[in-house]
Amino acid sequence: GESVGLHLPTLSVQEGDNSIINCAYSNSASDYFIWYKQESGKGPQFIIDIRSNMDKRQGQRVTVLLNKTVKHLSLQIAATQPGDSAVYFCAGLNAGNNRKLIWGLGTSLAVNP
Amino acid sequence: DAGVIQSPRHEVTEMGQEVTLRCKPISGHDYLFWYRQTMMRGLELLIYFNNNVPIDDSGMPEDRFSAKMPNASFSTLKIQPSEPRDSAVYFCASSFGGFYGYTFGSGTRLTVV
């Protein structure tokens, strides 16, 4: 069945370094992807999204890269800060009549001071 | 804007009791989603509404779960009777226009003992 998964369940980085969180998806017809950040005790918070007609999109300190050839996307966080510590989820919108987001299980990012 | 408001934040109930979770979406949003989050299964879409009408309830685990949206500013998710395996964090989210970058509430942590 369809799935959106992440390569690593946990990622530990030093403050100030760049972080890269990876995500793979199985449905080649997915045409929209979102990254969410979830801090402890809170609901997921929208970070950035990208449509399948793009291969890169930048936000404030974040960049999402989409490689449709290998069905892979990544979230890059520049100059990682302690406040970036959270669980990061990718989600893909499956195309077709029954459109719904398919969520990955999340990657926990820990930022070491 | 106060965002998506959920109540209660925490609920502890005994097995067999009825549980009602409440959600107030962001004013002007026409989509409302109910999600369940557990460590084992991650985020699961239970049901979503468009203009107060249930569109897809295929994620509702069984007949013990029901959801209503009597008006554009209020929705409920009811579990009757509750079971220990229903213990999870339940999130409500809303958006304008569909699945694109919706806003989550802070969630209700349900514990059934």
Q: Is the pLDDT of residue A4 over 70?
A: no
- Helix, strand, coil shares, percent, chain B, to 5: 5, 55, 40
- Give residue-wise pLDDT tens across range A17-57: 999 999 998 888 888 999 999 999 999 999 999 999 999 99
Q: Is A46 on the interface with B (CB under 8 A)?
A: yes
Reported confidence tier of residue A1, pLDDT bands at 50, 70, 90: very low
| Residue showing tokens 């969180």 | A21
Q: CB B35: neighbour CB atoms within 10 A?
A: 26
Structure tokens, B89: 């964090």
pLDDT in tens, chain B (113 residues): 689 999 999 999 999 999 999 999 999 999 999 999 998 888 999 999 999 999 999 999 889 999 999 999 999 999 999 999 999 999 999 999 888 878 999 999 999 99
Contact A81, A15 (CB under 8 A): yes
Reported confidence tier of residue A94, pLDDT bands at 50, 70, 90: confident
pLDDT of residue B36: 96
Q: Is the pLDDT of residue A92 over 80?
A: yes
Question: A113 vs A99, which has greater pLDDT?
Answer: A113
Q: Which of A89, A101, A105 is the closest to B45 by Cβ? A: A101
DSSP class of residue A9?
S
Range A11-22 average pLDDT: 96
How far, in Å, CA of B112 to CA of A74, rounded? Answer: 37
Q: Is A89 on the interface with B (CB under 8 A)?
A: yes
Q: Is the pLDDT of residue A2 over 70?
A: no
Q: Give the closest-approach CA distance of B15 to chain A in angstroms.
A: 24
- Give residue-wise pLDDT tens across range B24-37: 999 999 999 999 99
pLDDT of residue A96: 67
Q: Do A46 and B99 touch (CB under 8 A)?
A: no
